[in-house]
Structure 1
Amino acid sequence: MSLLPESASFEELVQDYFLAVRGAGLMLSALDTELLTTWAREGVPFEVVAKGISRSAEKALWDARPGEPVLRSLRACRRQVESEIKKYRELAAGAGTEEASSPRRKRTRSWEETRHARLCTALEDLAGREEALAHRVRSLRITLLTHVPEEPAAMDAQEALAFLLLLRALPFTDRCALWREAMAASTEQQVMSPRARKVARRFRVLATVRRRLGMKEM
């Protein structure tokens, strides 16, 4: 989700992603920085927190006024982020406990496996609702989605690619309309770096595609 160098810290990654999705600002407030420090102590992957941020931003995106930031503060994402952290930790703990206690017991899905399963289920539902996309969904199931990513970053990449391929399967006029809609929702400022602009645009394109397809953030 981030284009910062691999050496970037957790805090840098989260701040970079939040400000890009928000579409405004150069740094976090003191209160937001304090909250970010708390999340850093949780020891979860950056992508888990980024997922909570994107969920919050996507919900707020369509209610924001033109030129208004999607999110006013990182604290506005707190509920969604901490929900993602809780789910990640519970799934990780459950998998470890079951492996140690009972080899015969059905293994708990990982965070990535849970997201992958939700994505596949949502795509099957989409194929049932939109016949024109059924072939593309079947193609995704036997190619891109045959492998379940083992890391959060890989899961993010797989999910994003799936939605972009669905976008390409839409008629040309629909694709153009979706692109215009995504760009119209943009709140990018001149002070944003090229990297931040790329992250912001990808977020808005994916959010617009999901909205068009009637699919929530996975």
Structure 2
Amino acid sequence: MNLLKSAISRDPDYGLAHAYVALVELAIADYGSAPDHVIASCIERASLAVALAPDEPRCHRILAQARLAARDHAAAEHHMRRALDINPYDADTMTQMGHVLSLRGRPRDGLDLMDRAIAANPLHAEWYHCDRALALYAARDYAGAATAIQRLPYGPRRWSLLAAALARSGDRAGARDCVTLIRKSDPGFSPVSHLRASIEFEKPEDSNHLVEGFEIAAAIAE
């Protein structure tokens, strides 16, 4: 962050640096569960980045992420599409476009894009698995979602999603173990609040489908 702000102090019109400051601030605040004022600030800075560098796809992609955190799904899709129009071979943008489509209720379309992204960049970052897991879960491929999640570092957030996927796939023992691990590792953590706040489904029924999966797991663990 200091290096990005130093770059901006040297060149206040450096759009990409502004965009990445917005992304770092959004990530630190946990994206969709960030406070409203943080999301608003990130949107403002990312919008400035787009104004300064309208042909830089990463600026549009980061603005799309900020808009997604604000649950402005139409604007998020618009800017993600713009990023992909500018650079159609960017695997990160393909994956994140797929994520947006999945959150808007089109997980199969999203998975098609994610498959293209992985083919283009087989040595991709770990977060691809998270986006893919959510899309697979939304597409009712619960076993596939569980496999994708298991490629990620563990922690209460990942266990919450894994518990839901395992419960829906019929792996009662695995779902029970995930709930137990959450309760032991962080007794104050609320998986239901996390799943509702941080995963920006557009349709309430898609969010409910995920939360209900965890609730099945929690009932198994009782």
What interval of TM-score do these two structures reach, taking the shorter chain for normalisation? under 0.3
Greater relative contact order (Cα < 8 A, sep 6+): 1
TM-score normalised according to structure 1 size: 0.27
TM-score normalised according to structure 2 size: 0.27
